[in-house]
Amino acid sequence: MDQFLQQMVNGLSLGSIYALIALGYTMVYGIIKLINFAHGDIYMIGAYIGFAATTYVHLGFFPALILSMIVCAILGMIIERVAYKPLRNSSRITVLITAIGVSLLLEYSMMFFVGAEVRSYPKVLTNHLFHFGGVRVNMQQIYILVTAVALMILLQYIVTKTKTGKAMRAVSIDKDAAQLMGIRVDKTISITFAIGSAFAGAAGVLVGIYYNSIDPLMGMMPGLKAFVAAVFGGIGSIPGAMIGGLAIGIMETLVAGYGNSMYRDAAVFAFLILILILKPSGLLGKNEREKV
Amino acid sequence: MKKSLVLFLLLAMVVSLAGCSGSGDKNGGADANEIKIGINYELTGAVASYGESSVNGILMAFDEINAAGGINGMKIVPVQFDNKSEPAEATSLATRLMTQEGVVAALGPATSGNFMATIPVAMGNKVPIISASATADKGVTVDDKGNVNEYVFRLCFNDSFQGVTMANFAFNNLNATKAVIIQDNSSDYGKGLAENFKATFEAAGGTIVAHEGYVAKDKDFNAILTSIKGKDFDVIFIPGYYQEAGLIIKQARDQGIDAPILGADGFDSPVLLELAGAEALNDVYFSNHYSSIDEDPLVKEFIKAYKEKNGVEPNAFNALGYDLGMFIADAVERAGSADPEAIKDALAETKGFVGVTGTFDMGEDHNPIKSAVVIGLENGVQATSVKVDPN
Amino acid sequence: MRVLSKKNIMILAGLILTFAIVYALRNFGILTSFHEITIAMVCINIILGVSLNLITGFTGQLSLGHAGFMAIGAYVCALINMELNSTFGFILGVLAGAIIAALVGVLIGIPTLRLKGDYLAIATLGMAEIIRVIFLNLEITNGAAGLNGIPRYTNWFWLFFFTVTTVVLISNFINSSHGRACISIREDEIAAESMGINTTQYKVIAFAIGAFFAGIAGALYSSYFYFLRPEIFGFLKSIDILIIVVLGGLGSITGSVIAGILIAVLTAALQSFAALRMIIYALLLIIIMLFRPQGIMGTKEITDLLNFSKRE
């Protein structure tokens, strides 16, 4: 029993990382229907900014986190402005290819400048250990889960209660109609990218501290899995991304712990295909009828 | 229309630029005072760090040789390409180096799989290839039918030697009878080590109580560790590389697993300490090509020179790369000519080559006969080193 | 429609000429074995590009898992080839690899092709990833170490033969009534369905044909490069193939042929750039998408440009 509970703790902490990335993913996809492949790489850049801030400038945890979020937000806006905005009326596959191009560009530019070697963070967070019976939980796991939940609540608040959030929802439903209503579509999309990227940056810093290992290609797999999480939760739904992320994390941990750890990635993708076939709108997503 | 013109010009520019640099290399080949040596390494892609480290070592050796006047007055010119960590690229680059660039020998790639992909090319073009770190047992210097690949050499021991060494070490030195293996399944390296460890350990009377796997770039091992924590075992053997091994050690110690952890030369990197942290690196043992606490003046000198040049401690790939650079230069000097055939013979006849990673003779099967050391870590620092000779 | 029309004769003459020129250059030693690798990659790229174009360009189903089918063809052919080690074994391997890839294509296509757009893209990506993980864990494929010492039977003749066969068969398919049905799905799936076209059936057919030829490409690859490893067929390989299709133009066979050549030559040319290569590659990709998103050819074919009358 202790072992099972420990596995749940492992799964939750892995899942909160996916959830953090998935939150940004689901926002961006919700508004411009683009699988932003570069999202996972913004997470990687965030991790490196946090690394530079803590290692070379000796900032503490929170200043480094904020700095990383700001830089990533700006980076996200630049990417949107330069690479995606000119293609707003192009076919989806064109934009998708561009996103893949941006993703490769970020990965390999980073590899060019910092090298392929893995880096590790200095100790910026205490790693106090708590025992609950036979189950061990450390401080960092709690930090990650709490940050993920806090950011989810913040995001949900922005989207449902603020004017910007209203604009976002309007743009995601019908861009042209939103424009006619006086909403500045470009600005709204820009803000969405900024927020989504800032979240990815935060995730990067947290992961850097938690696993103590960052590298230029670290964004690839988590990026894809976060997308799976977003789809599972219902794309465009913020609580959905959270639930999806945690579910994927737990599922992966259970496959690795009780099945064969070699099949954990395959299991995630098999699961994705299952959801897409059985319930393509995801857990909390809205079912959209296609109109002629 | 204008846009497509711009695009076309841009494409044309890239292609012609690439063409220019290619032809530039070719013209340089006519110089009789130069010896061209191919460097076919993983500079980008999945295992770029091994390639980068090896090339650093090789270039350092070449710089030293050239600064000292070269080989018989001839300068070594490295012809360096990136194989993207892909075997198909490695094949195509080996072909390019041998047929286009006219190298007398090619060094690398670093990993066994990529190195093996270049073997048919070397055999076909009759140009020797040497790897400093392709440790796979099968299919490297000896083919499937047991014939020696005439133009293929390496200057490291192979995985079976390391696997056997660590199994004996666990059984005899640590008195372990029950072991867990957590193996890197994405590399033939992990597989070869695990097989040999298992066979030797079980033959000695030990049992393997759990055999888990992971793939390169995994970061979360808590699930595996939690599931083995419930089992009864004496040691954990991790056949894999430091990027993941460092994280496994850290997460294992965090979970309260304090059994000794064993590994092989893939552990050797300062990064292992960064990833795992000093307090986790106790009771950790691994086999290696050389030990930095070795009192040998040659080793000390190399470490000092490398630190001065690069600002960091050298890892095993650096040391092996450095030896590789020195080794090929030594062979060219002994061959007395820039003829690949003569160099091949010189490589095969090597006796008593003195390198940072040990002194060796080249064996009949083109594998060096050299010893390994088993290094023990205490608080992340090398505290013990036991030399193990080949039998 | 006559078989020996002026157009067909000219195409045939062009093909024979191309074959003869490369053959002669190789025999005179002007093309070295390094050039030959690029030529092999050109042919493999063309087969991959054209077959994916059928799925993505003509039928409009975005697939990010083409490397998975290529992997199946490669492994099946390699295993048969290593067992028999003869030209017969090679041909048998190529066909068996292609057929098994097509069967897997049908199996996977039936459930996933009900999905649309980006969802299909991710589902196919996941499928390719699953195929790769299975090859990584199977005993017969030798796991991560992969297969080594695969006999080389792929030569210029077979490369040329299979490339031409692929291009001819796929363009004939597209010009048939089945092909038109596929194109109608790309243009408007709902309209196509209301015209009585069984869209799922045609999507699966296109998917299976695409998988079949990807299997051939994989088989040629395995028998050219001596070795196979699961990591060759990762996500990036699927992206490489997609780049060929998009660069050439979605819905243009000619475009895929041109882009297949271009990408192979570019990859070879950029070898000298070492660490910078992937950056240049990514930048090129973005710039092309920004300035000419319809690719080199759009949906035009070379026959359109040469002013042949469209229907003879």
The rounded distance, in Å, linking the Cα atoms of B55 and B61 is 10
Q: Look up tokens 């492994």; give the residue.
A: C75
Q: Are residues B284 and B168 in the same domain?
A: yes
- Start-to-end Cα distance in chain B: 73
Give the mean model confidence (pLDDT) for residues C22-42: 82
**Pick from A3, A136, A213: which is nearest to B275 by CB?**
A213
What pLDDT does B342 receive? Answer: 93
Any chain C CB within 8 A of the CB of B328?
no
Determine contact: C143 vs chain A, CB below 8 A.
no
Chain B residue whose CA is closest to C284: B11
Report CB contact under 8 Å: B6, C291. Answer: yes
Find, among B286, C57, B298, C286, the residue nearest to A87 by Cα.
Answer: C286
Residue C237 lies in a domain: yes
With respect to residue B176, please indicate whether it lies within any of the assigned structural domains.
Answer: yes
Residue C235 contacts A where some CB pair is shorter than 8 Å: yes
Q: Which of A107, A213, A252 to mutate to test the interface with B (most CBs of B within 10 A)?
A: A213
DSSP type of residue B283? S
Instruction: For residue C95, give the nearest of C110, C77, C122, C111 by alpha carbon.
Output: C77
Look at residue B14 in the predicted model and tell me its pLDDT: 46
Closest CA–CA distance from residue A272 to any residue of chain B (Å): 20
Q: What 8-state DSSP symbol labels residue A85?
A: G
| Domains observed in chain A | 2-278 (1.10.3470)
* Interval A89-109 mean pLDDT: 86
Highest mean pLDDT among A16-30, B141-155, C16-30, C84-98: C84-98
- Residue C62 touches chain A, beta carbons under 8 Å: yes
Taking CA–CA distances from B142, the nearest residue in chain C reads: C149
- The continuous run of DSSP H or E covering C135 comes out as helix C117-137
Residues whose CB falls within 8 Å of the CB of residue B279, separated by 6 or more in sequence, listed in order: B253, B379
CB contact under 8 A, C136 and A107: no
The reply to whether C173 falls in a domain is yes
C13 lies in a domain?
Answer: no
* Disruptive mutation site among C279, C280, C283 for chain A (greatest number of A CBs within 10 Å): C279
Residue C279 is nearest to which of A96, A109, A272, comparing CB atoms?
A109
Alpha-carbon gap, residue C225 to C247, rounded angstroms: 26
Instruction: Select the more confidently predicted residue: C60 or C273.
Output: C60
Task: Give domain status of residue B93, yes or no.
Answer: yes
Do both B163 and B196 map to the same domain? yes
- Integer Cα distance of B145 and B150 in angstroms: 14
Query: Which pLDDT belongs to residue B26?
Result: 39
Checking if the pLDDT of A57 tops 70, the result is yes
Rounded to two decimals, the ipTM of the complex is 0.85
Looking at the structure, tell me whether residues B184 and B251 fall in a common domain: yes
Asked if A101 reaches chain C (Cβ–Cβ under 8 Å), the answer is yes
Residue A187's pLDDT is 93
Contact A101 C285 (CB under 8 A): yes
- By three-state DSSP, how is residue C151 classified? coil
Asked, for residue C20, whether it belongs to a domain, the answer is: no
Task: Report yes or no on C12 lying in a domain.
Answer: no
Cβ-Cβ contacts under 8 Å between B and C: the total is 119
Flag residues of chain B having pLDDT under 50. 1-30
What is the pLDDT confidence band of residue C272, given thresholds at 50, 70 and 90? low
Which residues, numbered 168 to 187 in chain B, qualify as contacts with chain A under a Cβ-Cβ cut-off of 8 Å? 185
Cα–Cα distance measured from residue C278 to residue A262, given in angstroms and rounded to the nearest whole number: 29
CATH of the domain at C90: 1.10.3470
Overall number of domains in chain C: 1
**Is C281 contained in some domain?**
yes
CB B284 within 8 A of CB B261: yes
Cα distance from N-terminal residue to C-terminal residue, chain A: 54
Determine phi and psi for C196, rounding to 5 degrees: 90, 15
Residues B195, B187: contact at Cβ < 8 Å?
Answer: no
* Residue B49 forms contact with A (CB below 8 Å): yes
pLDDT digits (tens, 9 = 90+) for A174-220: 888 999 999 999 999 999 999 999 999 999 998 898 888 898 989 98
Measured CA to CA, the distance from residue C114 to residue A276 in angstroms comes to 9
> Are the beta carbons of A277 and C114 separated by less than 8 Å?
yes
Per CB-CB distance under 8 Å, the chain B contacts of C287 are 7, 10
- Provide the angle, in degrees to the nearest 10, between the axes of the packed helices C66-84 and C199-224: 50
* Number of domains chain B is built from: 2
Q: What are phi and psi of B209, to 5 degrees?
A: -85, -20
The residue with tokens 């390409």 is: B81
CA distances from C145 to B89, B136, B156 (A): 17, 9, 19
Query: Which residues of chain C are within 8 Å of residue B190 when distances are taken between CB atoms?
Result: 144
- Dihedral over alpha carbons B201, B202, B203, B205 (to 10 degrees): 90
Whose CA is closest to A143, among A198, A73, A208? A208
Q: Which of A127, A253, A265 shows the shortest C-beta gap to B223?
A: A253
- Residue in C34, C146, C270 closest to B18 by CB: C270
- CB of B220 within 8 Å of a chain A CB? The answer is yes
List of chain C residues whose C-beta atoms are within 8 Å of the C-beta of residue A93: 56, 62, 246, 250
When pLDDT is averaged across residues A121-141 and rounded to a whole number, the result is 82
Residue B17 is predicted with a pLDDT of 43
**Closest Cα in chain B, distance from residue C46 (Å):** 17
Comparing alpha-carbon positions, the chain B residue that sits nearest to A1 is B230
Report whether the peptide linkage leading into residue B109 is cis, meaning its omega lies within 30 degrees of zero.
yes
State the residue range of the domain holding B102: 19-25+33-157+298-370
C267 Cβ under 8 Å from any chain A Cβ: no
Q: What is the pLDDT of residue A71?
A: 97
Question: Which pLDDT belongs to residue C101?
Answer: 96
Contact between residue A256 and residue A264 where contact means Cβ atoms under 8 Å apart: yes
b/e code B206-245 from CB counts within 10 Å (16+ = b): bebebebbbbbbbbbbbbbbbbbbeeebbbbbbbbbbbbb
The nearest CA of chain B is from the CA of A256 a distance in Å of 6
d(CA A242, CA A227): 12
How far apart CA C193 and CA C203 sit, in angstroms, is 12
Is A265 within 8 Å of C129 when comparing Cβ atoms? yes
Residues B349 and B200 in one domain: no
Q: Tokens for B112?
A: 């066994």
Q: Give chain A's contact residues with B (Cβ, < 8 Å).
A: 3, 6-7, 10-11, 13-14, 108, 111, 115-120, 127, 129, 136, 138, 207, 211-213, 215, 217-218, 221, 252-258, 260-262, 264-265
CB-based burial label for C207 (10 Å; 0-12, 13-18, 19+): buried
Of A95, A104, A270, the CB nearest to C282: A104
Banded model confidence at residue C273, pLDDT cuts 50, 70, 90: low
Whether residues C275 and B96 touch (CB distance < 8 A) is answered with no
pLDDT at C254: 92
The confidence score (pLDDT) of residue C1 equals 54
Choose among B99, B125, B188: nearest Cβ to C145. Answer: B188
Domain co-membership, B165 together with B153: no
pLDDT of residue A287: 61
Find where tokens 């979970």 sit.
Answer: B255
Q: How far is it, in rounded angstroms, from Cα A70 to Cα A48?
A: 13
What is the reported pLDDT for C25? 83
% of residues, chain A, pLDDT over 90 = 36
- The sign of the torsion formed by the CA atoms of C231, C235, C241, C244 equals negative
**Count of all residues that appear for chain B in the document:** 391
* Residue B271 located in a structural domain: yes
Is the residue at B382 inside a domain? no
B72 shares contact with chain A (CB less than 8 Å): no
Q: How far apart are CA B246 and CA B255, in angstroms?
A: 14
Contacts of A21 in chain B (CB under 8 A): none
Chains in contact with chain B (at least 3 beta-carbon pairs closer than 8 A): A, C
Chosen for mutation from B79, B96, B189, B193 (greatest number of chain C CBs closer than 10 Å) is B96
Partner A, chain B 225-264, Cβ-Cβ below 8 Å = 226-227, 229-230, 243, 246-247, 250, 254-256
Indicate the residue of B213, B219, B229 with minimum beta-carbon distance to A213.
B219
Instruction: Say yes or no: B97 and B38 in one domain.
Output: yes
Rounded mean pLDDT of chain C? Answer: 87
Q: Are residues B252 and B209 in the same domain?
A: yes
Residue with tokens 């002994």: B334
C119: in domain: yes
Query: Does C311 map to a domain?
Result: no
Residue B166: in which H helix or E strand, if any?
A: helix B159-168
Q: Does the structure show a pLDDT above 60 at A137?
A: yes
pLDDT band, very low/low/confident/very high, at C268 (cuts 50, 70, 90): confident
| Phi, psi (deg, nearest 5) at residue B288 | -150, 170
How, if at all, do strands B372-378 and B381-388 pair? antiparallel
From the list B97, B88, A111, the residue with the least C-alpha distance to C267 is B88
B82 in any annotated domain:
yes
| Residue C137 belongs to domain spanning | 32-305
Per-residue confidence (pLDDT) for residue B18, from 0 to 100: 44
The pLDDT value given to residue B188: 78
Closest to B91 (Cα-Cα) out of C226, C82, C230, C43: C226
The answer, for A274 touching chain C at a CB cutoff of 8 Å, is no
pLDDT in tens, B101-126: 899 999 989 988 889 889 989 998 99
Nearest to A118 among B230, B243, B256 (CB): B243
Q: Do A127 and B254 touch (CB under 8 A)?
A: yes
Whether B303 and B254 share a structural domain:
no
The CATH number for B246's domain is 3.40.50.2300
| Chains touching A by CB (3 or more pairs below 8 Å) | B, C
* C-beta atoms of B18 and C269 within 8 A: yes
Asked if the Cβ–Cβ distance from C56 to A102 is below 8 Å, we say no
Q: What is the pLDDT of residue C2?
A: 62
